[in-house]
Amino acid sequence: MTELDRPEPPAKGTRNAVAHTWGALGYSLAGGRVLAAQRAARLQLAMFVATALAFALVGVRPAQWAVAVALFLNSLLVEALNTAIELIVDRVSPEISNFAKQAKDLGSFAVFCAVLVFGGHAVWVVGAALLAR
């Protein structure tokens, strides 16, 4: 669905809470579809699948799984925000500019940090489990 196909939302304050929540869910799922089309998000998903396999093989505790899932979701959150930044910058500054480069580089650095934390946690948990054997 393109932005031209999307119907205008009702004026603020005119929908009840259930309709508002349902609409917000629809917008969130649409954002998830946009994110799923991004190669970086698919690579992060592959990283999570590899982490889950390693966790299953070494017998990781539920609390460590919970932290890994939270860190993975956090990395997707940052990736979604980075994608939004890139879309906005491409719209505002379609020409090559230092402004656009810096904005995109900052978004990329944020993703790098989030993925580093997720990956670092995974390596630490798996390493600790292997050393404990």
Ordered alpha helix ranges (H), 1-133: 17-36, 39-58, 62-92, 98-131
d(CA 36, CA 31): 9
Annotation says 79 is catalytic: yes
Annotated catalytic residue, options 3, 79, 86, 95: 79
Please list, in sequence order, all residues whose beta carbon lies within 8 angstroms of the beta carbon of residue 14, skipping any fewer than 6 positions away.
none
d(CA 21, CA 48): 29
Catalytic positions, written as ranges: 79
